[in-house]
Amino acid sequence: MATVLIVDDDDALREGLAETVSDLGHEPVPARSGREAVAVLAGRSVAAVFLDLRMPGDLDGIATLAQIRALPAPPPVTVLTAFASPANTIEAMRLGAHDHLTKPIGRADLAAALDAMLLSVRNEAGTADAPEAGSGLIGTSEAMRRVQKAIGLVADSAATILIQGETGTGKEEVARALHAFSGRRDRPFVPVNCAATPAELLESELFGHVRGALGGTTMDRAGAFHLAEGGTLFLDEIGDMSPVMQAKILRVIQDRMVTPVGGRPGRVDVRLVAATHRDLRAMVAEGAFRADLYYRLNVVPLALPPLRERQADIVPLAEHFLAASGKRLSAAAAARLSAHRWPGNVRELRNTVERAAVMVRGRLIEAADLDLPAASAEGPDGGEDLDLPGAVARLERTMIAAALRAEGGNRTRAARRLGIQRQLLYAKIERYGLAADPDADLSADATADVGKDDDSDTAGTP
């Protein structure tokens, strides 16, 4: 039996968590505030902590987490919140949280989180203030939250990072977040696009040159490695780098020594982040990319999901891109954006909504104002859609059924996957007749959920 500290200012949620922890065979210790939690930890040993993020007073969840992690032997902490954001997810993981979960939390998920904490190794982490996250990291979909958690875990590491994802998924935004949340944040972040720089100039761009080393050069020039000294160098589209440059980059990674063209070698202190939209593993198999360089780069891989796999993030991203214009989306426009496949990913979405903001004189952007290909007339059931609401309903039903199948019929996890509240999912299951649909694959036993009911997110949902 383990002692589990439960920190939440909401009496009902705290008691619900405590009851579940007790049912799982452990001793719950409740605390109503961050200060009360810190006092408890000063007086007794605790095996694990469930910590609410939003609490009143001057010691909120993040501040409490920082104080817990500063203890000589801190227990593992899982942060719980109904208001997940890129910044608080990344900061919680960077400070050493074992996990960062979104309410409501199902009993099975709570048990799994507790088991994992009890088996985890206790690590210390820094407590620096969190910077703001980049716009490309906006989103609360499970796919994007996995990326945000990974950034928090590796931001302070010196390990080389390889970011892979389709064009337009926000690879540079992730690289900037890795830098902004690291201890190198006060030093330069230097991006270099390897595909956009001519091969004959890339060596000088990266390593620099001395006067006279190249035709027409009249002064020394520092390369990107020296410009990024103490900070982060981001090599975008490294899969387009020539074999000769691949060999030279490999040598720099191994020795941390850079030789300017025509100059003498010098040591550099740079955190290297590389990115590509290409399949480097396949390129290695084909002999188009050096295997030794691939393994040097792929120390910590980060895979960015395409926007079509981040359905819940499309409208929040669009609203973020529109914020400066003071314009907003109509319900039909939001539905139209959600129905598009976005082959150009976040970049295409940004261009689409910013173009609409420029072309529309009024403050409301309608579906007809979006410069997108016409939606298919064939709905998910194969019939012809006579109007937009019908098409949206069919798309919604298909997505809900797919989420339920993916989560084995577990309604709580399906709601979290879709980015909607559990109660709203129940209503939509009933509306679309999915409870009796064998294709939905609903589990026989509904998961008992522990969490705050919050219907505020359902406003404006079709």
Q: What percent of the chain has pLDDT over 70?
A: 85
Residues 186-213 have a mean pLDDT of: 87
Same domain, 7 and 27: yes
- Of the pLDDT bands very low, low, confident and very high (cuts 50, 70, 90), residue 405 is confident
**Residue with more model confidence, 35 or 448:** 35
Any domain includes 381: no
Phi, psi for 217 (deg, rounded to 5): -80, 130
Final residue of a domain: which of 262, 284, 303? 303
Phi, psi for 39 (deg, rounded to 5): -65, -40
Of these ranges, 123-132, 246-255, 416-425, the one predicted with the greatest mean pLDDT is 246-255
Q: In this structure, are residues 351 and 168 in contact, taking their beta carbons and an 8 Å threshold?
A: no
Same domain, 292 and 318: no
Any domain includes 62: yes
Cα four-point dihedral sign 283, 284, 290, 292:
positive
Q: In this structure, are residues 175 and 232 in contact, taking their beta carbons and an 8 Å threshold?
A: yes
Same domain, 122 and 244: no
Res. 371: pLDDT tops 50: yes
Any domain includes 387: no
Residues 72-95 have a mean pLDDT of: 89
Same domain, 87 and 169: no
Any domain includes 384: no
Q: What range defines the domain where residue 358 resides?
A: 309-373
Question: Would you state the pLDDT for residue 138?
Answer: 81
Question: Would you state the pLDDT for residue 436?
Answer: 60
Same domain, 404 and 333: no
In whole angstroms, give the CA distance from residue 439 to residue 436: 9
- Of the pLDDT bands very low, low, confident and very high (cuts 50, 70, 90), residue 237 is very high
Calculate the average pLDDT of the chain: 83
Same domain, 108 and 12: yes
Question: Would you state the pLDDT for residue 454?
Answer: 42
What is the distance between the terminal CA atoms of the chain, rounded to a whole angstrom?
A: 46
Final residue of a domain: which of 130, 161, 185? 130
Same domain, 238 and 346: no
Three-class HEC string of the chain: CCEEEEECCCHHHHHHHHHHHHHCCCEEEEECCHHHHHHHHHHCCCCEEEEECCCCCCCCHHHHHHHHHCCCCCCCEEEEECCCCHHHHHHHHHCCCCEEEECCEEHHHHHHHHHHHHHCCCCCCCCCCCCCCCHHHCCCCHHHHHHHHHHHHHCCCCCCEEEECCCCCCHHHHHHHHHHCCCCCCCCEEEEECCCCCHHHHHHHHHEECCCCCCCCCCCEECHHHHCCCCEEEEECHHHCCHHHHHHHHHHHHHCEECCECCCCEECCCEEEEEECCCHHHHHHHCCCCHHHHHHHCCEEEECCCHHHCHHHHHHHHHHHHHHHCCEECHHHHHHHHHCCCCCHHHHHHHHHHHHHHHCCCCEECHHHCCCCCCCCECCCCCECCCHHHHHHHHHHHHHHHHHHHCCCCHHHHHHHHCCCHHHHHHHHHHCCHHHCHHHCCCCCCCCEECCCCHHHHCCCC
Any domain includes 294: yes
CA 65-70-76 angle, 5° bins: 55
Same domain, 368 and 411: no
Final residue of a domain: which of 254, 282, 303? 303
Same domain, 208 and 264: yes
For tokens 């040097």, what's the residue?
A: 296
Same domain, 32 and 62: yes
CATH number of the CATH domain containing 247: 3.40.50.300
pLDDT digits (tens, 9 = 90+) for 276-318: 999 999 999 999 999 999 999 999 999 999 998 888 889 889 9
Phi, psi for 258 (deg, rounded to 5): -120, 135
In whole angstroms, give the CA distance from residue 148 to residue 266: 35
Other CB atoms closer than 10 Å to residue 193's CB: what's the count? 16
Any domain includes 271: yes
CATH number of the CATH domain containing 359: 1.10.8.60
Any domain includes 424: yes
CA nearest to 225, candidates 240, 205, 201: 205
Domain total in the chain: 4
Same domain, 202 and 120: no
Any domain includes 382: no
Residues 228-238 have a mean pLDDT of: 95
**Residue with more model confidence, 427 or 13:** 13
Res. 123: pLDDT tops 80: no
Same domain, 211 and 355: no
